[in-house]
Amino acid sequence: MSEKVVVRFAPSPTGYLHIGGARTALFNYLFARHSGGAFLLRIEDTDRERSTPEACAAILEGLRWLGLHWDGEPLYQTGGLERHLKAARQLLESGHAYRCFCTPEELEIRREKARAQKLDFQYDRTCLALEPAEADKMAAQGRPHVVRFRIPEGSTEFEDLVYGPVRFANSTVEDFVILRSDNSPTYQLAVVADDIEMGITHVIRGDDHLSNPPKQILLYRALGAAVPHFAHLPLILGPDKKRLSKRHGATSLTEYRGMGFIAPAVFNFLVLLGWTPPEEREIFMREELIRLFSLEEINKKSAVFDQAKLEWMNGRYLAQMEAVELLELARDDFERAGLLTENSTPEQLGKLLKVLDLAKERCRLTGDLLPRSRFFFPVELEYERKAVEQHWKAGTVIKMTALRDKLLEVEVWQSGPLEEALRSLAEKLQLSAAGLIHPLRVALTGGSVSPGIFETMELMGRELTLSRLGTAIDRLG
């Protein structure tokens, strides 16, 4: 690729950064970094009624959280009015655009007539018949008007980097408005003028924009600018194969962060929504994705958002993290639970880190870290009803009493001697080891899921383990 790649992510701050928008930003970012190019940010805030500072701040926060750091300062579209007006004047002077004085009421009458005849409405070019000098005179007199782009005859073709050759008959595109009656630019004019100003070489966006290139390509050419390459990304669907929306769960990136997902996992997951890596695996580091990413591997088929898979991937990332990193992610939870305070001793902190190292394998969200860890400490247990019904049967009290007596004989409280003691008792009682392990796990943790039971007992310590067993025996009795 000889030209320097320059891409942009151009969100509209009329809502929060959702999963689809984040995926688009991510693909732009990866393509730029892979190519050694620039990743720019443009805030398309020309919808003054719906754009809000809160939504803009949330978009920037979401991008930063994902680590999608843009180059330079963001360009705010509202600051480019002079540039947009200059482009409109250039198009008027070159004859590629003309003033239209048709009123909204007149246009509505024509639309109604087309509807009655079951025809698609297109502007009929009434005002194209006006001489430019006459139109300028009417505008100078204060006559309300818009500026329309004049669609040439023929067709518009381009090579989409995802979908391949695309062709539109120009006859299907009406002379669209580029400047409203209040002198504000429409989306098409502002986007093209800004892309030219920013030197954009590749436009990577969702395929809901696939109808825009014909108009935009014609504008680029009329303004004497190079036409960028286009790549349109298939939309993300929910499990019901309909367009991803709020009914499928949280769609704001900040909501996912609040639900306990971490940025590296979301980053990894989003890349695989519509892109096939050349290597047959699913967990990648950021640097690997930058090295491997290319537009050629983007799928034409829409990707399906699978939150269960995102949770699994998040769990794999948590399992790879150091305990001190995990503690920072869940610090507030542990402080509220009283398991971490300003007065925590080095020994207490050390135990907490060991617990997190053991518990992390079974965590999928950061919110799982405390529930999977708290039973290692002297807190009151809540027994899961299903676990009790499944593993505390008739005769369990006899088994647990015998096990407590056996554990009292263990001199070195480590996983090896503890396992040896349990298995020897199981053999003596003519039971499988699982016949003791499952009810023991409920007694020690309150549930049926925990790290390895012998490592759990070692880290829990002799006193707490025997105390929990005693409580369970009393409850069983």
Closest CA to 190 of 41, 49, 86: 86
Give, in order, the Cα–Cα distances in Å from 39 to each of 46, 267, 416. Answer: 21, 16, 55
207 closest CA partner among 242, 236, 168 = 236
Query: Distance (Å, rounded) from C-alpha 201 to C-alpha 433?
Result: 65
Which residue, among 422, 426, 418, 421, has the nearest Cα to 459 in the 3D structure? 418
CA distance 270 to 313: 11
Out of 4, 113, 246, 428, which one is annotated catalytic? 246
Determine whether 113 is an active site residue.
Answer: no
Please tell me whether 354 is known to bind a ligand.
no
SS3 letters across the chain: CCCCCEEEECCCCCCCCEHHHHHHHHHHHHHHHHHCCEEEEEECCCCCCCCCHHHHHHHHHHHHHHCCCCCCCCEEHHHHHHHHHHHHHHHHHCCCEEEECCCHHHHHHHHHHHHHCCCCCCCCCHHHHCCHHHHHHHHHCCCCCEEEECCCCCEEEEEECCCEEEEEEHHHCCCCEEECCCCCECHHHHHHHHHHHHCCCEEEEEHHHCCCHHHHHHHHHHCCCCCCEEEEECCEECCCCCECCHHHCCCEHHHHHHCCCCHHHHHHHHHCCCECCCCCCCCCCHHHHHHHCCHHHECCCCEECCHHHHHHHHHHHHHHCCHHHHHHHCHHHHHHCCCCCCCCCHHHHHHHHHHHHHHHHHCCCHHHCCCCCHHHCCCCCCCCHHHHHHHCCCCHHHHHHHHHHHHCCCCCCCHHHHHHHHHHHHHHCCCCCHHHHHHHHHHHHCCCCCCCHHHHHHHHCHHHHHHHHHHHHHHHC
Which tokens hold the place of 377? 């400490």
Active centre residues (catalytic): 246
Which positions make up the binding site for ATP? Answer: 246
